[in-house]
A and B are shown apart, each in its own frame.
Chain A
Amino acid sequence: MIRLEKVTKRFNQGTPDETEVFSCFDFSVNSGEFVSVIGSNGSGKTTLLNLICGSLFPDSGKIYLNGADITPLPEYKRAKKISRVFQDPKAGTCPHMTILENMALADHKNKRFGLGICVNKKRTAFYRELLSVCGMGLENRMETPVGSLSGGQRQALALVIANMCESELLILDEHTAALDPKSSETIMGLTDRIVREKKITTLMVTHNLNHALRYGHRLVMFHEGQNVFDRSGEEKEKTSLDEILNIFNGISIEKGC
């Protein structure tokens, strides 16, 4: 499980633009839970993910992953236990390398990158099997440079790659936001399938209220660094889109925008 304890994060400290995103903020996600986070711009959703992944460090407070204090660890060290899919489909893969090469690299995650040959042809069948789940025909294009794939295809590949190795937490950072509606549905379906199969603890930030309602065990809404809405299980199942929209709009109007 992931736990944030009394986390404070400010930006532009000491300038007139100083903003405090979180102030003594507590938040936790239980093991095996799939949490969707929604909220308007500037509510702290992405900052939360960046704090967890180590792209940003808190000004004070602690972050624990399965009981271990990961607060001082740099991003690449946390990546041993955390996998992440970004909003930008380009972020999760190497464009000038083939699908096979990308997957071969990911296959060696958490191992030593020594002088052994990287691409093991014997593993190709396994990679194909993983890709066939996406239903995009990627399994027949193993030698294609990833840069020539469409955004949806690249994001599907990024999702598969992020889940190739066992990890303790999956972070989805608006991972369908840059895709067209159809690809976005495909990727969400694929996400749901992977999360169910692996039973991996998942934290998903999204602007798509429908996705937030339909997928996951728990729904959280952030507003100005506060957790203003938090429902899980049956309570969450009963929540309607209108109800969420009302709260969401209420917050925005209150803010005067």
Chain B
Amino acid sequence: MAAFLSTLEVVLEDGFVYAILAMGYYLSYKILDFPDLSVEGTVLSGGVIFSLLVSRQVNPWLAMLAALVFGGFAGSITGILHVKLKIRPLLCGILVSTALISINLVMAVAGQGGDISGEGLSTVSIGRDAPTILRSFPFDLIPYQAGGVNLRKLVGFLLVAVVVKVLIDLYLKTKSGMLLRATGDNEKFVCMLAKDPGNSKILGLAIGNAAAALAGSLIAQSRGNANQSMGLGMVIIGLASLIIGISVLGKIRFLKPTTMVIAGAVIYQACLGVAALLGVPSAYNKLIMAALFTAALVASGRFGNRKGALV
């Protein structure tokens, strides 16, 4: 029972965090039809930037904003590579995430006073005295623990995910957001509205990667550090959460897609949680991830067949 409860806790915490990443994917993959691989790098960037800043006692909300802005910047580079230099979407993501491997490492090592060409610490730890959003207002009002459950972390991450969801929902109703939807739906139509569809794409990818970096900053807070392997598998987690959410709950009309995506992220983490409860070693996690993603793709044939799908 205790094992079950603690697994449930981890499932929900991780589910809420990765829901933010998956909602970013909702914009780039589902709306813009752009399979964006750059999140593999931007999630880690978000974690590294956040951890470095709070280690220097920067306000954690400001640190999260900085992570978000950097993610948006990196995402816009992916967009510019595609729109201005006409590089294929998959390659743009690979180029940016590859470049970010170096950038993240340099940031982590140099940010901690290490020597880039010599010895240095590549993992950025968040010390016990460093401010995180869970140790700051308004989350410090929530009791830290209740009934053996880390209530503050759970509620805090849920609240951040809900705020991101509400903001994305609102954004999609604005003129700019509707233009983004139109860009994914019919580029010619956007052209006829005298707008450059390329700008919409760049903006959408910037928002998607800003969400990814935000998720990265939360992952770092959850784990207490940002290490260089943090970004691995993010594409799969984000896409699988998105696709599971939409294929499982897509039939329910009154649910917003963003709500489905949050549910999808939790379901996905729950599958990993069940595997853990059954005693499957965590080394198999990435294999299970890939298998789950394949199953989700097949289950939603409509998605699997979409042009630009990851096949």
Distance in angstroms between the alpha carbons of A196 and B179 in the assembled complex: 31
Contact of A105 among B173, B193, B196 (CB under 8 A): B193
Query: Which residues in B have some Cβ–Cβ distance to A below 8 Å?
Result: 171, 173-179, 181-182, 185-186, 188-197
Binding site for B on A (CB under 8 A): 74-77, 79-80, 83-84, 86, 90-97, 101-102, 104-106, 108-110, 112-119, 162
- Shortest distance between the CB of B192 and any CB in chain A (Å): 5
Given the known interface contacts A79-B191, A109-B193, the answer about A114 and B176 at a Cβ–Cβ threshold of 8 Å is: yes
Question: Contact at A105–B186, with CB atoms within 8 Å?
Answer: no
Among residues of B, the one whose C-beta sits closest to the C-beta of A94 is B185
User: For the complex, what is the distance from the CA of A92 to the CA of B173, rounded to whole Å?
Assistant: 21
Closest to A74 in B: B196
A91 contacts B178, CB within 8 Å? no
Q: Residues of A contacting B190 with CB < 8 Å?
A: 76
Q: A84 contacts B186, CB within 8 Å?
A: no
CB distance from B237 to the nearest CB of A (A): 26
Question: What would 30 A/B residue contacts be, using CB atoms closer than 8 Å?
Answer: A74-B196, A76-B190, A79-B191, A79-B193, A80-B194, A83-B192, A90-B186, A91-B188, A94-B181, A101-B178, A105-B175, A105-B179, A105-B189, A106-B193, A108-B193, A109-B192, A109-B193, A110-B194, A112-B175, A113-B179, A114-B174, A114-B175, A115-B174, A115-B176, A117-B173, A117-B174, A118-B175, A118-B177, A119-B173, A162-B192
Inter-subunit contact A109/B173 (CB<8 Å): no
Evaluate contact between B188 and A86: CB separation under 8 angstroms. yes
| Complex CA–CA separation, A108 to B177 (angstroms) | 13
Chain A interface, DSSP helix/strand/loop, else mixed: loop
Chain A min CB distance to B278 (Å): 40
Contact check: which of A90, A91, A102, A113 meets B176 at CB < 8 Å? A113
4 further A-B pairs in the complex, CB-CB below 8 A; given A114-B174, A116-B174, A162-B192: A93-B186, A97-B185, A105-B178, A117-B174
- Give the docked Cα–Cα distance between A97 and B178 (Å): 9
The minimal Cβ–Cβ distance linking B174 to chain A, given in whole angstroms, is: 5
B192:A79 contact, CB within 8 angstroms: yes
Please measure, in the bound complex, the distance between the C-alpha atom of A128 and the C-alpha atom of B64, giving whole angstroms.
46
Bound CA–CA A116/B174 (angstroms): 5
B191 touches A95 (CB 8 A): no
A75 and B181 contact, CB distance less than 8 A:
no
Residues in chain A near residue B178, CB distance under 8 A: 97, 101, 104-105, 113, 118-119
**A54 nearest in chain B by CB position:** B191
Residues of B within 8 Å of A95, CB to CB, are: 185-186
Which A residues are in CB contact (< 8 Å) with B177? 118
Report Cα–Cα, A74/B178, bound state, in Å: 22
Report if A115-B175 is in contact (Cβ < 8 Å); known contacts: A76-B197, A105-B193, A109-B193.
yes
